[in-house]
Amino acid sequence: CKMDKDSLVGSSCDVTFKEINDINHKIRPDLLSLVHSDFFKYFKLDLYKECPFWNDNNGYCVNRACAVDVVEDWDQLPAYWQPEVLGSLTNESLSADQARDDECSFLDQLCDNSRAKLSRQGPDIEYCDIEDFHNDQSVLVDLTANPERFTGYGGEQSSQIWSSIYRENCFTLNETGQCLAKDAFYRLVSGLHASIGTHLSNDHLNTETAKWGPNLELFMARVGNFPERVANIYFNYAVVAKALWKIQPYLSHLEFCNAYHEDVKSMITSVVSNLDSKIFNEDVLFHDDISSKLKNDFRSRFKNVTKIMDCVHCDRCRLWGKVQTTGYATSLKILFEIDTDDEEAKQTVVDKLTKYELIALFNTFDRLSKSIESINNFEKMYNDKLLTA
C-alpha cells in the first residue's frame, strides 16, 4: 500500500496511520480476548427476514432457492467448496430450538434485564432497527464458531447489494456541511467494504491445496492497490474508537454478572483506556441547528444500510454484515446523539444500549482491529515478495 504512514488519516481524524497502528498493537490481545468472552461472542439475528427494498419482480433475487451466485468454475469443485456451504453457519448455531433453550439460561446469566426495562421513548436517535434482535425468528449465533472469511459469495447479487449501499450516499439537502457528511458516509461504507475484502483475502480458501490462509494477490486486487480504501478502514477504526472513548466514563454501570464480570470489565478498561479523544472529531459534522436536518437524513440513510443486510443471501456474510452495520450504527448514535453538556443524558444513553448493540460495537471494533493487523501483515508479505523477485 503506497501510503505515507506519518500522514493524517484525514476527515476529522487528527491521528496518523502509524499512531493507529501503535494503538492497535497495544490493544489487540485484550480486544481479542474480549470478543471471545461469553458475553461478547454471541449475537442474535433473523436469517429469514425478508429484504424490505426489492423483490423478484424488479430483477433482484429474494428467493432462498437462488441463495448464492456461484463464482465461475465453482461447480467443478467438491460440494464442501461451494459458496452456500462455505457461507453457511455451523449447524449448532442454526438449530433454532436449541438456541432458544440455551438462550433462556444464557440471557439470565447475562443480567441484561435492567437495560431491557428502560423506556426508549423520545426522539428517534437510532441508526439501526434495534427491535430486530427481539424478533421471534431470531437465533443465537456463536461468532467465534463462524469467523468472517472467504465464502465464495459474489457475482451480480453481491455487487448489486454494494451499489444499493453506495446509492444511499445521495444527500439531497443543500446545506452547509453536506460535503463533510457525504464524505463521512462514503468513507464508512467504503471502509466496511474494504474491511470485508481484507478478511476474505486474509482467511481465503486455496482451492488447490484445500488450505485456508492469506492471499496477497487477492488483497492487492481488492484493497491494497487502492490507498483510499485502506485509509477508509483506518477512518472507521477512528470513528468506532472515538465512540468507545466517549462512553468510557459511563461504562461502570454495566453489569456482566457471574464469575467473569471482573475479567470482562478489566479487559474493556484496558482496551478503552488506550484510546485518545483526538482520534476523531465528531463535532465538525453536525455542529449547529442548520445541520440537524442533514443529520436526520444521514441517520435514516444509514438505517437503510443496516436493513439492506437483510437482502444478503449468504448467511455468514449477512451475519457479519449485520454485526458490523449495527456496530457502526451504535457508534454513530454515541457520537452524534449524545448531548455533550449533559452528564445525566450521557449516562442514560449508555444505560439504554442493548446487549446486542454492545456486542456489535466491540465486535465491529475487533473486525477493524483485525483488518489493520492483516494490512500490516500483507504489507510485510508484499515487501518480502519484492525482495525475492
Options 47-55, 116-124, 154-162, 277-285: segment touching ligand FAD (CB under 6 A): 154-162
Instruction: Please say whether the beta carbons of 138 and 45 come within 8 A.
Output: yes
> What does the block give as the cell for 357?
448493540
151, 215, 326, 374: which one binds ligand FAD (CB under 6 A): 151
Would you call 1 a catalytic residue per the annotation?
no
Is 314 an active-site residue?
yes
Q: Which of 60, 74, 81, 162 binds ligand FAD (CB under 6 A)?
A: 162
Find how far residue 174's CA is from the centre of its chain.
30
Min separation Cβ 370 and ligand FAD, Å: 13
Contact between 159 and ligand FAD per CB under 6 A: yes
Report the nearest approach of ligand FAD to the CB of residue 191 (Å). 7
Helix (H) or strand (E) segment spanning residue 213 = strand 211-213
- Window 263-282: residues binding ligand FAD (CB under 6 A): none
Residue tagged 455487487 (cell numbers): 159
Distance between CA atoms of 219 and 204, rounded to whole angstroms?
10
317 binds ligand FAD (CB under 6 A): yes
Rounded to a whole number of angstroms, the minimum distance from the CB of residue 144 to ligand FAD is 15
- 148 makes contact with ligand FAD (CB under 6 A): yes
Cell triple for residue 310? 437483510
Measure Cα distances from 173 to 125, 187, 288, 297, 351 in Å. 20, 19, 15, 9, 33
Considering only residues 128, 230, 244, 312, which one is a binding residue for ligand FAD as defined by CB under 6 A? 312
Burial class (CB in 10 A: 0-12, 13-18, 19+), 186: middle
How many CB atoms within 10 Å of residue 349?
18
Stretch 186-225: interaction string toward ligand FAD, x if CB under 6 A = ----x--xx-xx--x-------------------------
Burial class (CB in 10 A: 0-12, 13-18, 19+), 208: exposed
Whole-number Å distance between alpha carbons of 230 and 232: 5
Instruction: Determine which residue in the list 12, 88, 158, 354 makes contact with ligand FAD, applying CB under 6 A.
Output: 158
Strands 211-213 and 204-206: antiparallel
Stretch that binds ligand FAD, among 48-56, 249-257, 311-319, 371-379 (CB under 6 A): 311-319
The catalytic residue positions are 314, 317
Interface ranges with ligand FAD (CB under 6 A): 148, 150-151, 153-154, 158-159, 161-162, 190, 193-194, 196-197, 200, 229, 309, 312, 316-317, 320-321
